[in-house]
Structure formats: structure tokens, C-alpha cells
Amino acid sequence: MGKYFGTDGFRGEANTVLTAEHAFKIGRYLGWYYNQNSKGRIVIGKDTRRSSYMFEYALVAGITASGSDAFLLHVTTTPSVAYVVRTENFDCGIMVSASHNPYSDNGIKVLDGNGHKISAEVELAMEKYIDGEIDELPYAKMDKIGVAKDYAIGRNRYIGYLISLATRSYDGMKVGLDCSNGSTFNLAKNVFDALGAKTYAIGCEPDGTNINKNCGSTHIEALQQLVKEKNLDVGFAFDGDADRCIAVDGDGKEIHGDYILYVCGKYLKQCGKLQGNTVVATVMSNMGLFKALDTEGIDYCKTSVGDKYVNEAMVANGYVLGGEQSGHVIFSKHATTGDGILTALMLMEVILETREPLAKLASGMRMYPQLLKNVRVSDKKVIMENEQVKALDKQIAEELGERGRILLRESGTEPVIRVMVEAETDELCAKYVGKMVDLIETLI
């Protein structure tokens, strides 16, 4: 990770960590970088945060000042930006969003012309420009100044693409959607309605400050209640920029990313479509996923946390399915990033083709008790390199042995240390997480 760009772009509290000036300079650099040989074409999307408009306009100012053209998708999803950039000959795409974070945060995520996250080399160069370590870039003059264009048509084409992926009509299916007051508020219901489902949607009234607030993939209680009250077949919750999906089965039980990987991995293998007979997961995935995959004779690859690393492993090996417990799931045959709506559609395919409810499809996987706590710190590296922390980490790992594990890591998007313990009982998880959290808090 760089100084500003983490595993999911440049993210932090708006106008405190990430400012309008940062956005302008990122626009300036990208506008110059892609305008050296021919007119640069950069497409921009944003979520519903109040600050997203400010950052969008700052990016546009920087891009056009450097001579490239900016194309505006307006409020849309991260995966839609990835789709448009790779299918419509753009040099790069930018998404303004802090994903599942509260509205006070925001972020800038840059995608290359293939729809993948931009290279570390370009991120490093942008950081150097932001910090004044690169000479000032030339401004475009006269008719060389770039223009900004409305490009809502790109978002509509993405919706059409999603609808085209469905293998069956959803007629007769009752589906709940929680759009998190975010990017899917004007997209997801249209897709499911067009496919014939009886759709019930909540979290569709964004006001700039309520994105992810008691809704969406990180707060699924409202969706669980909706599914049970309306007797729905299934529910899907998205996060602020819709690169995540958490499902709810007909009984109201949460079906998170590990379950989704199991259900879809098993189905793809049965269909002969699981390339390399391998599912890509991260070190944060539950032990229960790996044991369930072993039972099905499916191999797995573990990566560092972050869909960026999942995607890299998939691209390098030609794998077709990978993701995280948080609901970032990548179906590489159809997309280059996690895509919440696409994930929902792929689960619907399994449900309809097997004629089995989601609860039964997921029943072959047993979750090990797992507890995760975040500790907010001022310096993540100081904590991670502390000798007392290292010693306790080793001690807990030895005491758990093969009956569990402890995972201590820096967040790539927030100033926190994540402490996760997996064990045979909730009591053991709480005991060991508590020990580590108590130690870290004495060092803050």
C-alpha cells in the first residue's frame, strides 16, 4: 500500500483525509497521463454521498485542465464503471465512493482500460504528484482544453448487459432488495423487475447522508425482517457502491460471501464450468468454507485480504470464481470486479436451475464461530511491529493449534487494526480477541 492509495483506492474522511485538492490533482495527473499520445478519455461514476459531487467536479476540472475529456455516468455502481471502461474504449475509469463506509468518508478508485484496478506504478506516480515530488504538469490551452460530457447512456447499457446474463425468467419469484441508499437505488429494482420478479426494495431514498446507515450489506437486519414479513424467496443487500452482495435466504438467515463462494463453486463444478477446479478466497474466509470445498473435491487458493488480490490471482491463473466473506465476489467470465447485482443474478441462476431454495443450497457448509473486532489506532505499523503484540499473537496461535486461528492485520481502507479469531466455540473467540484488543488498547 502507498501513502494515500490502499487496497481499495484513496479513502478517508471527506475534506480531512481526502480533500477536493487531492481530487483535482488526481484528475490533473490522469488527464495528463492519458493525453500524451492521443486525446484522453476518462469515465467517472459516483455514489450518493454529499461529498461525491464535490469530488466529481474536482476530478473533472483536473482532467479537462490537462487536456483529456471526462464522461459522466453520474450516480452509478463501481462495477458499472468497470464495465463501461472496458467495453467502450475508455483509457481509464474513476469511481467516487467509500463503499461500505459512513457518508462522512469518501474515496477515489481508479480502474485501467481493462476494468482492473490501476497499477501500483501509476498510483505511486499520482502520490508523488500530490506531494509535489513531480514537476508541475502543463495546462492545456485554447482548443486543447478537455470537455465534460454526460454519459448516462453507459449506465443504461450496463443495465441491459446485466439483464442479458439471466438464464431464466424470474416470474413467480419474490425477491427483496436493500439498496443501501447508495448506487443501486435507481438500478437494482429495474433489473429484477425486467426479469419478471415480484420485487420489494428498501434503502432507495438517498439524501446524501444516509448511505449505509442502518441498511445495506453491513446492516442486513432490515432486509431479514422484510424477507420474513413478506414471505419472500430470497433477499439481496448491496453496499454503497454495489461491489458487494450479502444474501438472505427464505428463512431470514444471512448468506455471506463464503456461503456464496460455496454455493456457486459447487454449482459451477457440477456444470463443468469451474476453471482449474479452484475457488479463490482470502485468509479471512471461514475455515468452514475450506472444509466444505474439501468435501466437494474443490481446490482453493488463499490470497491477502482485498478483492484486488483475489482478482490478481484469478487473472494470473484463469480462475472464474473468487471473493471475500464481506460479499465481494468476482465472476471473471462476466466482470473484472466484485459486482453486487451480478452476484445476486448468479445466485438466482443456481436457485432456478437446481430448483432448490437458497437455505438448502447453503446447508452443506458449517461455519466455525468467528469474532472480528476493529481497534482504531493512530499508527497501524507501530502496532503491528510491537514485540508484545507479536508475542501474544504467537501465544494465542499455539494455544489454538489446529482447533482455530488468530488473524491480525491492518485495514487497507481505515486507520484500524482488525483482530479476528476463529475457534470451536464463541467463548474461545471472545477470550482470545479480548486479550489481543486489551493489549493493543494499552499501546494506543
Query: What residues are designated binding site for Mg(2+)?
Result: 99, 239, 241, 243
Binding residues are: 99, 239, 241, 243
DSSP 174-195: EEEEE-TTTTTTTTHHHHHHHT
Three-state secondary-structure class, residue 19: coil
Q: Is 222 helix (H, G, I), strand (E, B) or coil?
A: helix
Q: How far is CA 160 from each of CA 156, 157, 167, 195, 345, rounded to the nearest angstrom?
A: 6, 5, 14, 11, 13
* Among 217, 161, 167, residue whose Cα is nearest residue 191: 161
Nearest partner of 429 among 401, 402, 405, 412, judged by Cα: 405
- Spatial distance between the Cα atoms of 81 and 45, rounded to a whole number of angstroms: 6
Residue 415 burial by Cβ neighbours in a 10 Å radius (0-12, 13-18, 19+):
middle
Return the amino acid letter for 256.
H
- How many other CB atoms are there within 10 angstroms of residue 36's CB atom? 10
The answer to whether 99 is a known catalytic residue is: yes
DSSP 25-44: HHHHHHHHHTTSSS--EEEE
Catalytic residue among 52, 66, 68, 99: 99
Run of H or E including 293: helix 287-295
Question: Which residues are known catalytic residues?
Answer: 99
